[in-house]
Amino acid sequence: MEREPRASEAGPAAAALFAWGANSYGQLGLGHKEDVLLPQQLNDFCKPGCVRRITGGGGHSAVVTDGGSLFVCGLNKDGQLGLGHTEDVLYFTPCRSLLGCPIQQVACGWDFTIILTGNGQLLSCGSNSFGQLGVPHGPRRCVVPQAIEPLREKVVSIAAGLRHALAATASGIVFQWGTGLASSGRRLCPGETLPLFLTAKEPSRVTGLEDSKATCVVAGSDHSASLTDAGELYVWGSNKHGQLASQAAFLPVPQKIEAHCFQHEKVTAVWSGWTHLVAQTETGKVFTWGRADYGQLGRKLESHENWKLDKQGLSLPCPRPQKSTPSPLHCLMGATEVSCGSEHNLAVIGPHLFIAGRQPQPPHRAPCLQSSPPVSTSHPIPSAATDPGLEGTLGQPASTYLRQFGHNPKTSPEWGLLFLGLERAWHVRGWHRSQRLGPKARAVSAVVVRSPCGLRGWPLPGPLSAASPSCTGPGLQGHWPFPRCH
């Protein structure tokens, strides 16, 4: 569910790696399986300037270095780490079978991994129970990355969902494999004939996109999306929660979201959560739509978006297919980067760090750190004091700030990885897999932060204080205004 960074975002690799949250399988790479409530730096792994990209699956993590090396850790029951065995790994470990083969991008599904090399070749490892490895006659799992032979075109973008995967080629063709969406289609549209690409266990061309050129693909739990060079967004798969902006319960073939939904502007970037989507247009506007029961849309619901509210104001799903349309979040105007977890989102915008807790609410500012001199600040965040993973303040330079909105379940601590380094903000993402929740566990996002300010002398503050509503420090005296989204 990860979007390829924009070409304009090329820059130095991140210089420091921090990890926190749920760690049942050692996916944080800290050498143990205990949950971590506050960000901890991985000093032994991350050397200055080495980390380029990171992603996570249902209990495993993958890091691509500046030199194109792949490091992995965490759950390895199905060989999703590609290390040649099925033992869990508690430290980030190089994938030695790929040494000498520069890696461009990695997409982690629930229990499998898709790897894109520098020359556009596609590899896969992990579970193949639903054909998600793109190797139809292969074993039920593969512990070493193997080439997806049927896909011989150069690939420029990849994505992985729960049990399906996508790839866009340099010529703009979209391929899909894995039977995850077919399962949803049969359940939501019984008796309907499904197209081949929904049932294929090897890369199959997605029909309905012949007149467009895809530049990026993203995947949710049971849906897919493709962004074209013309700024058009196509979606297909499950619409159970309105994530496809359609009246249908399931879209077997791609359907374009009409331009008026984005105020007749071209879409330049798209991100996908578990059951919601976020898009940005050419003028910097950010739109959200889809499931909203945990505030993951970061806004009040429109009158036509048919979610019921309980007595506490939490939205409850209606029994019929949801109707949701893209609506702008004005407070995220001009965001330079966005990242989606399963039920929450983060956005990099300006000079401060913003974060929100569990309750459905618009994005809020979070405690921030000034890089020179180091300053620790805090303010009340609903539910944050008791929600694992939100109990500590996150540090980052004053050149960017982060907004987060949506769900952070108290009973299932989520996990994240944060980079701090040089010049630019990139996004990363991870999924959370809990032994308590099984396949219903949720995803979580994090961001890569780059700044011209170094990390030397940066402290990581203690737990959030619920007593002080103000942020103090040089240039930040007094109360901050909390912009609201409408």
Residue partners of 339: CB distance under 8 A and separation at least 6:
271, 345, 346, 347, 427, 428, 429, 445, 446, 447
Please, what is the Cα angle at 363 between 105 and 325, to 5 degrees? 75
Q: How far apart are CA 447 and CA 347, in angstroms?
A: 8
pLDDT of residue 421: 33
Residue carrying the six token digits 């930040």: 476
CB 53 within 8 A of CB 419: no
CB 212 within 8 A of CB 227: no
Q: How far apart are CA 215 and CA 100, in angstroms?
A: 27
pLDDT of residue 256: 98
| Of the candidates 463, 447, 485, 475, the residue with the CA atom closest to the CA atom of residue 379 | 463
CB 71 within 8 A of CB 113: no
Q: How far apart are CA 177 and CA 135, in angstroms?
A: 9
pLDDT of residue 485: 36
Find the helix or strand (DSSP H, E) in which 188 lies: helix 180-188
Phi-psi region of 7 (alpha: psi -120 to 50; beta: other; left: phi over 0): alpha
Phi-psi region of 285 (alpha: psi -120 to 50; beta: other; left: phi over 0): beta
β-pair type (155-160, 165-169): antiparallel
What is residue 19's three-state secondary structure?
A: strand
Measured in degrees and rounded to the nearest 5, phi and psi for residue 216 equal -155, 145
pLDDT of residue 303: 57
pLDDT of residue 233: 99
pLDDT of residue 290: 93
SS (H, E, C) 257-322: CCHHHHCCCCEEEEEECCCEEEEEECCCCEEEEECCCCCCCCCCCCCCCCCEECCCCCEECCCCCC
Q: Which value, to the nearest 10 degrees, does the dihedral of the CA atoms of residues 43, 45, 48, 53 take? A: -120
CB 319 within 8 A of CB 255: no
Residue partners of 125: CB distance under 8 A and separation at least 6:
79, 80, 81, 82, 112, 113, 115, 133, 142, 143, 144, 145, 146
Separation in Å, CA 196 to CA 176, 199, 254:
10, 5, 13
pLDDT of residue 475: 29
What structural domains and CATH numbers belong to the chain?
7-450 (2.130.10.30)
β-pair type (51-56, 36-41): unpaired
Each residue's pLDDT expressed in tens, for the chain with a length of 486 residues: 445 455 444 444 556 788 877 899 999 999 999 999 888 988 776 665 688 888 888 899 999 998 999 999 999 999 999 999 999 999 999 999 999 899 999 999 999 999 999 999 999 999 999 999 999 888 999 999 999 988 888 999 999 999 999 999 999 999 999 999 998 999 988 888 899 999 999 999 999 999 999 999 999 999 999 999 999 999 999 999 999 999 999 999 999 999 999 999 999 999 998 899 999 999 999 999 999 888 888 887 765 555 444 444 444 444 455 678 999 988 888 888 788 877 878 787 775 434 332 344 555 444 432 332 222 222 222 222 222 222 222 222 223 334 444 555 433 344 455 443 322 333 334 443 333 333 333 333 333 333 323 333 333 333 222 222 222 232 222 222 323 333
pTM, entire model: 0.75
Q: How far apart are CA 280 and CA 243, in angstroms?
A: 16
Pair of tokens at residue 262: 């984005």
CB 400 within 8 A of CB 350: yes
Q: List beta partners, residue 41.
A: 18
pLDDT of residue 14: 53
Separation in Å, CA 245 to CA 66, 261, 325:
38, 9, 5
pLDDT of residue 443: 36
Q: How far apart are CA 146 and CA 128, in angstroms?
A: 12
Q: How far apart are CA 413 and CA 337, in angstroms?
A: 24
Long-range contacts of range 169-172, CB-CB < 8 Å, 24 or more positions apart? 170/120, 171/213, 172/212, 172/213, 172/214, 172/215, 172/228, 172/229
pLDDT of residue 375: 25
